[in-house]
Amino acid sequence: MILVLMILIYNGIRLDVFSQIHNEQNKSFAREPFSFLSDDQKTTIHGEIVLPNTSQISTCPFIIFVQPPAIPLDKDYFGTFKALADSFAEKGIISLRMENRSKANSSYESDSLNSAMEAEDLYCAIVSVKKDKRFENSRIGLLGHSEGSNAIVKEIHKHGQPAFIVLLSPMGLNGNDFAFHQMKSALLKFARNNVDSSVTSFLNYLEEILSFEYKYQNNFRTLNIKFKEIVSEMYARGGFGKQTKEEAYRRSKKDFLNPRFLDYVQFNPALYFSSITCPALILYGKEDERLDYKPNSRNIDSLFRANHKTNYKIVSFDGVNHDFKNKYDNEVVDEKVMDVMIEWITTVYRKN
């Protein structure tokens, strides 16, 4: 075995792959293909169920992984979900991970799918799992990352409570505020914090657009009129360089009025988190390069407290980034994150 390990390392094969080979040789878990139809009945979504090596399948926790919807992503989600699935199976937890609809059907245009659509696909997955007699009485939990968390809370709001939820790097702020701070941070980093009049002008333009998109989320006609007015004002101030006014409008519409961006900007955490009654584990990395964990976690905590919710836990990890990888070893899901998840899931499942 030592010789095999040395050969694998010499050939540059990652240790997590070796772990997978070792585990499967010892039959600590089994893999099964899984597929179901998307909510629009046009796309077959493929995935994989990982089963612990036990005869008591009906008593095991069952968790479904949910990833962001916009870009094509396979079931392994850059290896993160596969690593979680294998570790969970070793601890007696069944999991389903699946590609998103963008990956399953290449005919969808970029940014045409959003978390609301993914929430409906998630519901289809749950219904499909329940049709398997082995899982018809299983209490299913949900685990989502980033915008995948948005899909989970929307699915709960519409279809009811799962056994539990685990949300990784979820949005805790209103979508327009979240998007503005995220884009402002990226712009200032690009500009190396040199805030001249053009940067200030663009930030004002961006904040106004996002504010209107959030305010008029139930009235697209009014939103479109306001959007044209804002673009026209920015164009009149020379904010689009050599583009024609029509080019400026088409580009801005493509960037800011597509289904995914509108869904993102119009996210209302008060609406969705207030409806969650099942046990919830909320996790953040303190080295998150895409969101500020402090205001997001604080707002979720405030929403839960306002609704007298007590069956939840919020944890922020040192040295961990947005993808829950250790900043010193970007190939591995941080071990302490994994331990917290497994312990919390098994404890909550036994109590309930």
Reported as a single tens digit per residue, the pLDDT across 139-173 is: 999 999 999 999 999 999 999 999 999 999 999 99
- How far apart CA 16 and CA 82 sit, in angstroms, is 10
Q: Which two tokens stand for residue 120?
A: 């409906």
Q: What does the pLDDT average to over 5-30? A: 45
> In this prediction, what percent of the chain has a pLDDT beyond 90?
62
Of 171, 122, 188, the residue nearest 270 (C-alpha): 171
In one-letter notation, the amino acid at residue 138 is: S
User: pLDDT at position 315, please?
Assistant: 98
Query: What pLDDT is recorded for position 75?
Result: 97
Would you state the pLDDT for residue 14?
A: 38
Beta strands, E only, the chain: 29-37, 44-52, 62-66, 94-98, 140-145, 165-168, 280-285, 312-317, 325-326, 329-333
Confidence of residue 1 (pLDDT cuts 50, 70, 90): very low
Looking at 227-231, 340-344, 345-349, which range is the least confident one? Answer: 227-231
Residue 224: which pLDDT band, with cuts at 50, 70 and 90? confident
- Give the contacts of 324 (CB within 8 A, at least 6 positions apart): 80, 145, 168, 169, 283, 285, 317, 333, 334, 337
CATH of 27-174+268-351, one of 3.30.420.40, 3.60.21.10, 3.40.50.2300, 3.40.50.1820: 3.40.50.1820
CA 48 to chain centre: 18
pLDDT value of position 205: 85
CA distance 152 to 149: 5
d(CA 262, CA 254): 11
pLDDT at 195: 66
Answer whether residue 111 shows pLDDT above 60: yes
DSSP 3-state of 209: helix
Whether 11 has a pLDDT exceeding 60, the answer reads no
pLDDT at residue 193 in the model? 65
User: What per-residue confidence (pLDDT) applies to 65?
Assistant: 98
Of the two residues 26 and 74, the one the predictor is more confident about is 74
| DSSP for 298-352, written as a single string | HHHHHHHHHTT--SEEEEEETTB-TTSEETTEEEEE-HHHHHHHHHHHHHHHHH-
pLDDT exceeds cutoff 70 at 2: no
23 band by pLDDT with thresholds 50, 70 and 90: very low
Q: Is 331 a residue whose pLDDT tops 90?
A: no
SS (H, E, C) 49-83: EEEECCCCHHHCCEEEEECCCCCCCCCCCCCHHHH
Q: Residue 189 and residue 82: Cα distance in Å, rounded? A: 33
Mean pLDDT of 89-97: 96
Q: What is the pLDDT of residue 285?
A: 95
State the pLDDT at residue 176.
93
Residue 202: CB atoms within 10 Å: 16
Query: What is the tens place of the pLDDT at every residue in 267-289?
Result: 999 999 999 999 999 999 999 98
What confidence tens digit (pLDDT) does each residue in 173-208 have?
Answer: 999 999 998 888 877 777 776 766 777 887 888 888
pLDDT given for residue 206 in this prediction: 86
Neighbours of 166 (CB within 10 A): 26
Q: Is the pLDDT of residue 19 over 80?
A: no
DSSP 110: T
CB-based contacts of 29-35 (< 8 A; 24+ apart in sequence): 29/53, 29/86, 29/89, 29/90, 34/96, 34/98, 34/128, 34/129
d(Cα 313, Cα 231) in Å, to the nearest integer? 43
Domain boundaries, the chain: 27-174+268-351, 175-265
Mean pLDDT score of the chain, rounded to an integer?
Answer: 88
pLDDT in tens, 240-258: 888 998 998 998 888 889 9
- Contact between residue 129 and residue 98 where contact means Cβ atoms under 8 Å apart: no
Distance of CA 111 to the CA centre of its chain: 15
Q: What is the pLDDT of residue 10?
A: 33
pLDDT score for 91: 94
Helix (H, G, I), strand (E, B) or coil at 184: helix
As a whole number of angstroms, the distance between CA 45 and CA 314 comes to: 32
